[in-house]
């Protein structure tokens, strides 16, 4: 029996969330609805613009990063998870480690950390519940093969790779190495495309993942269309089935389309009033992986994942509270 249900690798970030007006997006020269990588000076300037000039207040702060959100969700639902990442020896890094451990996620962060700046994500939510993000990777950009725990990975059922890792040469190498180890050990390889702009700018990196063997792909319909060069959602979904063995593609409030290797299904979304879409895809992946690790079919897992993502977006933040987890797990 494997020690872990899911082993993840991704960026370690602390998420700070603000509720803003649409006009601020233009003032800050940001592209709405996507993630933009920034440097430390830009991060400081953006916080000054948010808090000092426009008097926006922080509405939520938690440990984050796309894959970290997914691994935390898996642990919250009751499965076992391990996360490989990198933080610095600073207050932000300490916050992240404590948050991860409190959620019950095992990690490689046990032997001290280097000096530097830990990763930080600023998430700005507009009245339409759309989130626009800026990310300063900090020391997370230096994530490397050294952060892998080969024993934990070989003793896992699933590997979950965060697509954002393609932006760093050393992190990308680590992800490829994790993929190689997983395939040797018979661990199911899953990959998330993470963000439309990332897919557009790093197409060849994702192609290389696919060429080396991806069992399960997580994406939304925009990411799928960009990666496959498709005009429609249905066309993209069909093309993905020729690239990966299994597919889980979210379609916003319409739900999700899944393919388990032999049959496909379109599963309607769960109606809700969305106030913040931050982490919706991360939660979908976490709930889905939890469900399939417990023996549920792809269609059953998608129903559960849709419900979980719907519950998440009805509140602020990328994590669910314990009461919501308990409610979702009830028959």
Tens of pLDDT, residues 221-232: 999 999 999 999
Q: Give yes or no for residue 111 having a pLDDT over 80.
A: no
Separate counts of helices (H) and strands (E) for the chain: 13, 14
Quick one: 262 exposed, middle or buried, by C-beta within 10 A (0-12, 13-18, 19+)? Answer: exposed
The predicted structure's pLDDT at residue 328 = 93
Q: Provide long-range contacts, Cβ within 8 A and 24+ apart, for 326-331.
A: 328/77, 328/287, 328/304, 329/77, 329/78
The predicted structure's pLDDT at residue 292 = 97
Percent of the chain with pLDDT over 90: 91
The predicted structure's pLDDT at residue 254 = 95
CA–CA separation, 67 and 282 (whole Å): 7
Whether this model's pTM surpasses 0.95: no
Measured CA to CA in angstroms, residue 20 lies from 49, 239, 274 at distances of: 12, 37, 15
Tens of pLDDT, residues 10-53: 999 999 999 999 999 999 999 999 899 999 999 999 999 999 99
Q: What is the DSSP string of 118-187?
A: -EEEEEEE-TTS-EEEEEE-GGGGG--GGG--HHHHHTEEEEEEEGGGGGSHHHHHHHHHHHHHHHHHTP
Tens of pLDDT, residues 216-262: 999 999 999 999 999 999 999 999 999 999 999 999 999 999 999 99
C-beta neighbour count of 20 within 10 angstroms: 18
Pairing outcome for strands 255-259 and 246-250: antiparallel
pLDDT band of 119, cuts 50, 70, 90:
very high
- Angle, CA of 141, 143 and 146, to the nearest 5°: 160
The predicted structure's pLDDT at residue 277 = 86
The yes or no reply on domain 4-11+65-116+139-329 and CATH 3.40.1190.20 is yes
């Amino acid at each position: 029996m494997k020690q872990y249900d899911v082993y993840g690798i991704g960026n370690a970030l602390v998420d700070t969330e603000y509720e803003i007006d649409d006009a601020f997006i233009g003032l800050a020269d940001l592209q709405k609805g996507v993630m933009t990588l920034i440097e430390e000076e830009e991060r400081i300037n953006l916080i000054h613009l948010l808090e000092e000039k426009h008097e926006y207040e922080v509405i939520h702060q938690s440990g984050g990063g796309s894959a970290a959100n997914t691994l935390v969700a898996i642990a919250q639902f009751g499965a076992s998870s391990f996360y490989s990442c990198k933080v610095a020896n600073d207050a932000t890094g300490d916050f992240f480690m404590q948050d991860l451990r409190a959620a019950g996620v095992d990690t490689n962060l046990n032997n001290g950390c280097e000096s530097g700046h830990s990763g930080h994500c600023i998430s700005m939510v507009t009245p339409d519940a759309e989130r626009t993000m800026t990310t300063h990777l900090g020391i997370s950009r230096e994530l490397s093969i050294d952060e892998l725990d080969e024993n934990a990975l070989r003793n896992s059922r699933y590997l979950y790779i965060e697509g954002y890792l393609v932006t760093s040469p050393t992190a990308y190498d680590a992800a490829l190495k994790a993929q190689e180890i997983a395939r040797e050990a018979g661990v199911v390889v899953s990959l998330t495309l993470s963000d439309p702009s990332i897919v557009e700018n790093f197409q060849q990196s994702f192609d290389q993942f696919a060429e080396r063997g991806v069992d399960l792909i997580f994406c939304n319909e925009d990411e799928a269309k960009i990666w496959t060069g498709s005009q429609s959602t249905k066309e993209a979904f069909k093309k993905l089935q020729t690239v990966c063995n299994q597919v889980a593609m979210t379609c916003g409030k319409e739900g999700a389309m899944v393919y388990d290797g032999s049959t496909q299904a379109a599963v309607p979304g769960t109606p809700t009033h969305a106030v913040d879409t931050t982490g919706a895809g991360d939660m979908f992946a976490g709930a889905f992986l939890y469900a399939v690790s417990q023996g549920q079919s792809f269609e059953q897992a998608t129903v559960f994942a849709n419900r979980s993502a719907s519950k998440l977006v009805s509140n602020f933040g990328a994590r669910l509270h314990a009461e919501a987890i308990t409610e979702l797990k009830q028959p």
